[in-house]
A and B are shown apart, each in its own frame.
Chain A
């Protein structure tokens, strides 16, 4: 189904602050099967030059998936038909335990590709102190029926 083009360029208010915890980082690292100690052991992370355990490079997807911006029924997105098209992160630094961050998302574009609909979302992740962590560029594809 065609997505609502009125959403192109729409920006969304910052998300509620999210606290990155050691337990969540470990859960995520376990889920991707990555045994790297810098995701679990504070001493190992410090030895690698980080103040506390850091999160894997793809961890920001947990908080930057678009959230409320995609669930607005006016957009017309059918989640059952959604697959991920592209994802890219530009990092200032890794997320780490103790960070409290918010995300600001914007719909950068919506266009048809054959029978599919492509939706581009840009999400900026910053700490509540205003430090830039990363910017995520996410493209999802709603497959045509």
Chain B
């Protein structure tokens, strides 16, 4: 595989460039269709409110996918990901008007054997941490 980032050029504590990904209702409808997760809390506002949510919320896996994209764009090859895990700590609330934003930052947390590094991610939306314990282990060049 062809990771574009070289292991020896990466240091623990190094920050990855922050990225902000917009999310609108239409994205959640597309994600529902593509993933097969048609839970109405992700596309039906009145249903979401009826079960105690503030509004429609994004699929957790949609947010996780943005974190995945953040890492694969940095490393250059999605095949370089060895492990990727997150905890969904808060909801990404997606209003009908204007949608929402997911801001992702990352830092190299550890260097392992065999050219692998651990990247720790944070993801925020409307000021809330929406992912915690988000880590990807990737094999660099």
B95 beta carbon closer than 8 Å to chain A = no
A65 touches B36 (CB 8 A): yes
Which of A30, A31, A36 touches B35 (beta carbons < 8 Å)?
Answer: A31
B60 touches A84 (CB 8 A): yes
The residue in A50, A58, A81 that gathers the most chain B C-beta atoms within 10 A of its C-beta is A58
Taken together as a complex, chains A and B put the C-alpha atoms of A36 and B76 apart, in Å, by 10
Shortest distance from the beta carbon of A8 to any chain B beta carbon, whole Å: 21
Taken together as a complex, chains A and B put the C-alpha atoms of A28 and B45 apart, in Å, by 24
A86 touches B79 (CB 8 A): no
Chain B contact residues (Cβ within 8 angstroms of A): what range? 35 or more
B64 touches A91 (CB 8 A): no
Shortest distance from the beta carbon of B58 to any chain A beta carbon, whole Å: 10
B39 touches A88 (CB 8 A): no
From B27, which residue of chain A is reached at the shortest CB distance? A33
Contacts of A68 in B (CB 8 A): none
Prevailing SS type, chain A contact patch: mixed
Contacts of B69 in A (CB 8 A): 32-34, 36, 56
B85 touches A88 (CB 8 A): yes
Contacts of A31 in B (CB 8 A): 27, 30-31, 33-35
Given that A27-B34, A65-B36, A80-B41 are contacting pairs, would A36 and B87 also be in contact in the complex, using a CB cutoff of 8 Å? no
Taken together as a complex, chains A and B put the C-alpha atoms of A80 and B39 apart, in Å, by 7
Which of B27, B39, B41, B61 touches A58 (beta carbons < 8 Å)?
Answer: B61
Which of B66, B77, B85, B133 touches A32 (beta carbons < 8 Å)?
Answer: B66
A12 beta carbon closer than 8 Å to chain B = no
Taken together as a complex, chains A and B put the C-alpha atoms of A99 and B51 apart, in Å, by 39
From B39, which residue of chain A is reached at the shortest CB distance? A79
A84 touches B85 (CB 8 A): no
Contacts of A39 in B (CB 8 A): 78
Q: Which residues of A are in contact with B by a Cβ distance under 8 Å?
A: 24, 27-28, 30-34, 36, 38-39, 47-50, 54, 56-58, 61-62, 65, 79-91, 93-94, 137, 143
Q: What are 10 sample pairs from A and B whose C-beta atoms fall under 8 A apart?
A: A24-B34, A31-B31, A31-B33, A36-B69, A48-B79, A49-B77, A58-B84, A79-B39, A89-B83, A94-B78
